[in-house]
A and B are shown apart, each in its own frame.
Chain A
Amino acid sequence: EPEVTQTPSHQVTQMGQEVILRCVPISNHLYFYWYRQILGQKVEFLVSFYNNEISEKSEIFDDQFSVERPDGSNFTLKIRSTKLEDSAMYFCASSYVTGDEQYFGPGTRLTVT
């Protein structure tokens, strides 16, 4: 069964450094998403992406964040200058059509020290 994959599974970085989290969505999916879960808290929407454009973003998704689909398979989330409060689990998800089931990846645990 096709699945969403994410790399790395765990990333440790120092405050102020740039990080790129990578996701490979399911191959025929067209809609891509990033969500964040701070430890012990609920999962929060960050951004949705379709046709090489951001469709919607939350207030969390400020200028420090960017997303990109650099090729036909990868979908990345970049945090330009990480802060301690960016420490969280980051989930990528994809769906074939808007409004359809979103398939989640296993997540990347980001630790900012």
Chain B
Amino acid sequence: AQTVTQSQPEMSVQEAETVTLSCTYDTSENNYYLFWYKQPPSRQMILVIRQEAYKQQNATENRFSVNFQKAAKSFSLKISDSQLGDTAMYFCAFMKHEAGEDKIIFGKGTRLHILP
């Protein structure tokens, strides 16, 4: 069974700083997706970034980038130039790349506070 572990329950950084959220996962699969979801106080689930395991290049989306280390089963999220609106719960998540096996498995989350 796949598991996703986020070792930082809570983090705080000053606005404009860079912050890195950690995530490790365990799987015997070779083809899969990894995601970071943002959940602001409204509790909506918003996809921040996605990485396909077969791609060596790290995904980036504007201020958000990942450090994907497949051998180490590590998938960290870096937020550059952090903004107050980045304050939210961040979930790391895993999904097999297999038809009919597409449930998303979430980590427990990291609560991120951006301080003014």
> In the bound complex, how far is the Cα of B109 from the Cα of A35, in angstroms?
15
B107 touches A42 (CB 8 A): yes
**Number of B positions contacting A (CB below 8 A):** 26
Beyond A58-B103, A106-B44, A109-B43, 9 extra complex contacts between A and B, CB < 8 Å = A35-B104, A37-B43, A42-B106, A42-B109, A43-B104, A101-B50, A102-B104, A103-B47, A106-B42
B101 touches A56 (CB 8 A): yes
B103 touches A56 (CB 8 A): yes
Provided the pairs A42-B108, A43-B91 are in contact, do residues A98 and B42 lie with their beta carbons within 8 angstroms? no
A45 touches B99 (CB 8 A): no
A-contacting residues of B (Cβ < 8 Å)?
33, 37, 42-47, 50, 91, 93, 95-109
Interface footprint category on A: 20 to 34
B-contacting residues of A (Cβ < 8 Å)?
31, 33, 35, 37, 41-45, 48, 50, 55-56, 58, 89, 91, 93, 95, 98-99, 101-104, 106-107, 109
Which chain B residues border A41 with CB–CB below 8 Å? 108
Instruction: Report the minimum CB–CB distance from B106 to chain A (whole Å).
Output: 4
